[in-house]
Each structure stands twice: as C-alpha cells, then as structure tokens.
Chains A and B, each alone.
Chain A
Amino acid sequence: MFLIIGKNDVPLYEANLGTVRKEIGHLNQFIIHAALDIVDEEAANSPNMYLKTVDKFNEIYVSAYVTAGNIRLMLVHDSRNEDGIRNFFIEVHENLIKALMNPMFDLIRGFSQPFDTRVKNAAKRFLI
C-alpha cells in the first residue's frame, strides 16, 4: 500500500503495490494514519527527506519520505528493503515534481494515468 499525502493531511494518491503479502484490508489505512504524527515530528527535526522505517505494527512496517514542500510519501510493507524503498521514493518524488511543473496541474483533481503507470513501474523495479 502506497499513499501520497499533501497539505492538511489530504490524501492525493493511493495505490496497492503488493508490498504486504497478507490480506489486511483497511488496516493499511489505520497503520498509515497512526504513523502520520511520528512522520511530522521526525520531518521537522531532520534535513533528510527519506526517514526510513518510522513505525511498526506487528510484522508490518511503515516507511516515509517527506519532500521539501511537506508532501509525504508513505509506504506500508512487510519485508525490510531499505535501499529499494529509498530508490522507489526518489523515483516517485522526481515524477511528482514533473507533475507539479505542469501549470494546469491541480492537486485536488489528482494525478493522471501516466503518473500512475510510472509509480507502478517503479514499484516493479525496486520493491518486488
């Protein structure tokens, strides 16, 4: 489960990338929600965008990446793979900036199909 969260905790993009093998349904949402406070606290004190694993719930981990404009990328996963996740986040971040550069882009209306394809390809390359 991968989620992009914008200003005022509005979710902007959501994708199921198969990083948790067990079927946990909406538990994903709760885990990410619970980790948000920790992410905000760590992001305020760290110059790094990649915060590594910020929270853990049983065997499920949450990794986070906070951009300069305070857009949060959060990934729920069940295996440790720090470098893969870092590369995945960096790739998504770059595509996110490309989307932002489009003057017609509107955060509320969300991301277009090509962005979705890019994220899924990045997941195939770095996460599985």
Chain B
Amino acid sequence: MKKSIYDRPVKTKREVSKSAFNFLFSEIVQYSQSRSNRDAQILTNQLEELGYPLGLKFLELTCLREKSSTKEHTIINMLRFIRDPFWRTLFNKPAGDIEQSTVDDCMFMIYEDEPSLCNQFSSAPRGQERINCSAFVAGIIEGLLNASGFAARVTAHFSNDSTVFLVKFAPETIKNRNV
C-alpha cells in the first residue's frame, strides 16, 4: 500500500537549509511584487495573507510537540509561548524581548535580536524602503493568535536593522484573557 502522511512521525523535528528557504521565499516575494502594482502596502498585505493560514498549523504542531495535551489561555503565557517554543520551531532560537507599550495597554512589541531570515537577503528598491518582508512572519503570528482565540492584529516594522513585531490585541481580549 502507498505510504500516506499518516504513516510518518509528526513529533520528530526536521530542519530545512537556509538556502532552500531563501530560494523559495525570494520567489514568493517576487511573485507578490509582480502582482502588487509597485504598491508597498499591497505587497505587505499579500505577504501577511500568505503567512496567515500557517499560523493554525504551527500552533497545533508546536503545542503537540512541546506541551502534550495542554494549551495556553492567558495573554502573558501565549506571548511566552510565541517567544520560545514557537520561535524555536521557526528559527531554531528564541525571540528577543517582549515589551508592553507604555502608551497603549493593548499593544505588545516582540523584538528580534538580529536581522531575521526573511530580511537577510532582501533589499527594497529605491522609493520602497518601507517594505519589510517579515510581514510574512507577522502574518503567521496573527494567524496563530486568532486561531487560539485571541483577537489581534500583528504588523512588522523596522527598528534600526532588525524587525519589531507590533501585536495589538482587541480590548475585549485584554479584558477577558488577562487572568
């Protein structure tokens, strides 16, 4: 009988080479750019949309591997989960610091220690310097949060050379899940 996806183990971790990822990712960015009409906002949205459906998959997979039959249900634990097991699944290292905004209680910032995989080999054309290819990762995080019941919007921005992810939770989420 033909081997199906169900015959393969799901708990063992596999790695993909950086060059393979970047080769594929560069095609994704080029494809999105060719359909974006040279508009930075459309390109960013497209990258976010591509990442979004992966959020649910990463959430389920990482929870199964790291947490065996438990899940996170408070905001603070969810952010910790994103910082370590989730970031480690994606990039093989934990994320940098997470801070809560002093201006807006609903806003959290996830910092990166060094330029991420998505921006390492991409330089925006002149006049489009606002494009941050980590929008793809922002989309994954947004998909992950929404799938687990936290209404949030996630965007990627440059701070110096590395990226900071702005996570803005809906006020109801902050009220209900801040236990």
Residues of A within 8 A of B (CB): 44-50, 66-71, 90, 93-102, 114-115, 118
- The answer to whether B57 and A100 have CB atoms under 8 Å apart is yes
- The answer for the CA separation of A90 and B10 in the assembled complex, in Å, is 13
Interface residue range, chain B:
20 to 34
Nearest residue (CB) in A for B53 is A103
- The answer to whether B6 and A98 have CB atoms under 8 Å apart is yes
**What residues on B are CB-neighbors of A102 within 8 Å?**
5
- The answer for the CA separation of A55 and B67 in the assembled complex, in Å, is 26
CB distance from B6 to the nearest CB of A (A): 5
Residues of B within 8 A of A (CB): 4-6, 8, 10, 56-57, 59-61, 63-64, 67, 69-73, 147-149, 176
Nearest residue (CB) in A for B177 is A44
- Main SS of chain A's interface residues? helix
Which has the most chain B C-beta neighbours within 10 Å: A96, A100, A102, A115?
A100
- The answer to whether B63 and A68 have CB atoms under 8 Å apart is yes
- The answer to whether B59 and A94 have CB atoms under 8 Å apart is no
Nearest residue (CB) in B for A46 is B73
- Give the contacting residue for B57; candidates A49, A95, A101; CB below 8 A: A101
CB distance from A114 to the nearest CB of B (A): 5
- Give the contacting residue for A100; candidates B8, B56, B67, B149; CB below 8 A: B56
- The answer to whether A67 and B70 have CB atoms under 8 Å apart is no
| A97-B64, A100-B60, A101-B61 known; A47 vs B6 contact (CB < 8 Å) | no
